[in-house]
Amino acid sequence: MRQERFEAENSPLWERLEQLIAELERPRYKRRMAPSERLNFPADYRLVCSHYALARSRNFSPALLDQLHALVLRGHYQLYRRRTAWGWRLLNFILLGFPRALRRNSGYFWVALGIFLLPALTLGIGCYYEQDLLYSILDEQQVASLEGMYDPANRRPGRVEERSSESDFVMFGYYIKNNIGIGFRTFASGILLGVGSLLILLFNGIVLGGVAGHLTRLGYQDTFWPFVAGHGAFELTAIVICGAAGLLLGHAVLAPGQRTRALALKQNALEALQLVMGAALMLLLAAFIEAFWSSSSLASATKYSVAALLWLIVVLYLGWMGRAPDGSR
Amino acid sequence: MIGNGVWPDRMSTSQAPLLDTLRQYEIPEGVSLEFRLAGPVVRACAWGIDTALRGLLYLALLFLFSFFGGLGIAAMLISIFLIEWFYPVIFELLNGATPGKRAMGIWVIQDNGTPLTPAASIIRNLLRTADFLPLLYGFGLVSMLVNREFKRLGDLAAGTLVVYRDRPSERMSPPSERVVSPPMELNEAERRAVLAFAERAERLSSSRRIELAEMLSGVTGRRGQQAVENLYGYANWIIKGHSRASSARGICTSPHGSR
């Protein structure tokens, strides 16, 4: 069959499909066709795919091939587009997906926890017994500002400026920008063979441990610990989870196993993304607690008991939420 | 290349893989889709436009929130966080491209030609941090240059491609109606070349048209505009068949020609 005849016979179908695709490309509220008119889209699209294949094998003209290719491309894009119920997916993720994803990758979590916790404990004990050790991590100004922040003589734990409801909001914004940003960076830098995540975890472990030991040594424990205990449940856990997500990426690049590197990276990135998004939600919650609860001047006993409750919630949520009735998953 | 003496530089029908930015992906329907990959320069331009837009956005928000005191600062900090991390995600999920990419005529798709998924968009944009290191997308550039598909680290992890978005172009057809039967049988590559010449001729200058058509003067014996017309005739012959153009048209007017 010559090209002219082929075109004449089939162009009505092509035009129909073109209109249908144009309709599907419009946002939903601008569509004019009834849903029933769109029913034969898959069949028409597949027919045009075969026309394209035919036109190619018969060496029809480049312009016709371009026209059909464009049609197939646009049709393919529309046919394989996914539409998601966002609210339902988010709820499902929080209640089931995130804790399950973490338990699937718990090995990475324990490694990340070790990388974070061991230097934190070492430096914490070191700075508790050795007065000047903290100065080898932070410079004088930073140490002075930290000491000022948690000095029991000032009734403003964790803040440099005077506490007010407005400054609570400012700090909430600051914690979101800063902490979630750190979480994302901890994850992203994991693609550099895991080194980035490793360094950020190590660095945070060293600094937080050192500061905690140093302030306890100065006798500031009654301002420092009640402040950090509450939101720490979410914040520290979330940073470790982000580190675990980064290690997932690094592992895929370093040792993909029987998969190709590209495939391993793609698959692990999808797993890691669930960890990061869950951790980001935890950091959001932590920012809220840190800004509005941790900085309040309630009695230490109240703060400690709430903190204990929060830690319990985190452990139960991550460890047991979404398990199957027989305890698996 | 060995010519056969008749057709100058007789083209081979087997196509050797050329150095090209065209990538093919075979879809379940059994045909190959073609994507023209966007390289580092056009993507850097897109990024530059986006960065400028983001700067303007920050300024506008800073002005707006400056009326709200402490709450304004909080809103500004949260906006900075959202714009820094999710500006590309939001636009890519809405249009497939950020305003900068759109201006450069490129967009992001999955590497199997399907629309960008939310997960992939978030992955590729969070990993910008790693691509940006050690400075100004150093690792990203190295990754793009080493990779066959111009993927930066984020694209590798998300399985995404940045490709040119083809604008629907007007369909060109051979300018004349005359049908000329070629003096010998044409092979596939030759037929393709003749058709491509006839369909693109109107975008060329007339002297370039003549120059190209006169490459065949040895076979056709025609020169100048006549050589061009002659090639149009061949193209029409390939498309329509023998010179009984009028009768052929008669059959084809009914869309589903009864045979």
With pLDDT > 70 as the criterion, what percentage of chain B qualifies? 85
Nearest-10 Cα torsion for B146, B150, B156, B162: 180
Q: Which residues of A touch B238 (CB under 8 A)?
A: 3, 61
Q: pLDDT of A125-139, one tens digit each? A: 999 998 888 888 888
A177–B78 C-beta distance less than 8 A: yes
pLDDT at B252 over 50: no
Of residues A49, A185, A269, nearest to B157 (C-beta): A269
Residue A110's pLDDT is 96
Token couple for A149: 């922040």
Q: Which residues contact B214 (CB under 8 A, 6 or more apart)?
A: B223, B224, B227
Q: How far is A152 from chain B (nearest CA, A)?
A: 26
Q: What is the CA radius of gyration of chain B?
A: 27
Contact B97, B165 (CB under 8 A): yes
Residues 6+ apart with CB under 8 A from A128: A213, A214, A216, A217
**pLDDT for A267:** 95
- Nearest alpha carbon to residue A3 among B97, B99, B199, B125: B199
Confidence of residue B40 (pLDDT cuts 50, 70, 90): very high
Average pLDDT of chain A is: 89
pLDDT at B7 over 50: no
Pair A168, A264: CB distance under 8 Å: no
Q: Over pLDDT 90: what percentage of chain B?
A: 39
What confidence score (pLDDT) does residue A299 get? 83
B27 pLDDT above the threshold of 80: yes
Nearest C-alpha in A relative to B196: A62
Distance separating alpha carbons of residues B195 and B249, to the nearest angstrom:
19
Q: Helices A261-289 and B118-126, interaxial angle, to 10°?
A: 80
Q: Do the Cβ atoms of B168 and A53 come within 8 Å?
A: no
Q: What is the SS3 assignment for B107?
A: strand
Beta strands in chain A (DSSP E): none
Q: Is B103 buried (19+), middle (13-18) or exposed (0-12) by CB count in 10 A?
A: middle
Rounded Cα distance between B11 and A191, Å, is 46
pLDDT digit string, tens, across residues A272-325: 999 999 999 999 999 999 988 888 878 888 989 999 999 999 999 999 888 888
Do B235 and A189 lie within an 8 Å CB cutoff?
Answer: no
Whether residue B169 contacts residue B202, with contact meaning beta carbons closer than 8 Å, is answered with: no
Q: Return the beta strands (E) in chain B as ranges.
A: 22-26, 32-36, 106-110, 160-164
Assign A237 a pLDDT band (cuts: 50, 70, 90): very high
Instruction: Name chain A contacts of B249, Cβ cutoff 8 Å.
Output: 4
CA-CA distances (angstroms) from residue B107 to A226, A285, B44, B205?
A: 50, 35, 13, 32
Give A18-31 pLDDT, tens digit per residue: 989 988 888 878 88
Q: Residue B181 in contact with residue B237, Cβ under 8 Å?
A: yes
- Render pLDDT for B144-192 as a digit per residue (tens, 0 to 9): 999 888 999 999 999 999 999 877 667 777 777 788 888 888 887 888 8
- pLDDT of B255 reads 40
Q: How far apart are CA A324 and CA A315, in angstroms?
A: 17
Q: Which residues of B touch A67 (CB under 8 A)?
A: 171
pLDDT for B17 equals 59
Backbone φ, ψ for residue B21 (5° rounding)? -100, 15
- Chain B contact set for A176 (CB, 8 A): 77-78, 81
Distance from CA of B29 to the nearest CA of A (A): 7
Distance from CA of A129 to the nearest CA of B (A): 38
B18, pLDDT greater than 80 = no
| pLDDT for the residue numbered B4 | 43
Give the amino acid at A11.
Answer: S
The pLDDT of residue A149 is 83
Residue that has been written with the tokens 């498309």 in this structure = B239
- Using the 8-state DSSP alphabet, how is residue B259 labeled? -
Judged by CB atoms closer than 8 Å, whether chains meet at A269 and B195 is answered as no
* Spatial CA neighbour of A288 closest among A132, A168, A128: A168
pLDDT of residue B112: 84
**Chain A interface disruption, residue of B22, B93, B126, B246, most A CBs within 10 A:** B126
Per-residue pLDDT reduced to its tens digit, A11-67: 899 999 998 998 888 887 888 888 888 888 999 999 999 999 998 888 888 888 888
Of A36-40, B59-63, B102-106, B239-243, where does mean pLDDT reach its minimum?
B239-243
**Predicted local distance difference test score (pLDDT) of residue A154:** 66
Residue of B70, B192, B198 with shortest CB distance to A169: B70
Cis ω on the peptide bond leading into residue B134 (within 30° of 0)? yes
How close are the terminal C-alpha atoms of chain A, in Å?
60
B6 has pLDDT over 60: no
Contact (CB<8Å) A9/B255: yes
Lowest-confidence segment of A4-18, A151-165, A230-244, A303-317 by average pLDDT: A151-165
How many Cβ atoms sit within 10 Å of the Cβ of residue B111? Answer: 20
B200: three-class secondary structure by DSSP: helix
Prediction pTM value: 0.83
Mean per-residue pLDDT, B3-32: 64
Give me the total of CB pairs closer than 8 Å, taking one residue from chain A and one from chain B: 172
Chain B closest-CA separation from residue A12 CA (Å): 7
Of A64, A82, A185, the CB nearest to B129: A185
Distance CA B254, CA B162 (A): 43
Q: Is A29 exposed, middle or buried (0-12, 13-18, 19+ CB in 10 A)?
A: exposed
Query: Would you state the pLDDT for residue B219?
Result: 78
Q: How much is the mean pLDDT over chain B?
A: 82
Determine the Cα–Cα distance for residues B109 and B123; give it in Å rounded to an integer.
Answer: 13
Contact in structure between A217 and A124 (CB atoms under 8 Å): no
Say if CB A239 and CB A201 are below 8 A apart.
yes
Residues of B in contact with A56 (CB under 8 A): 31
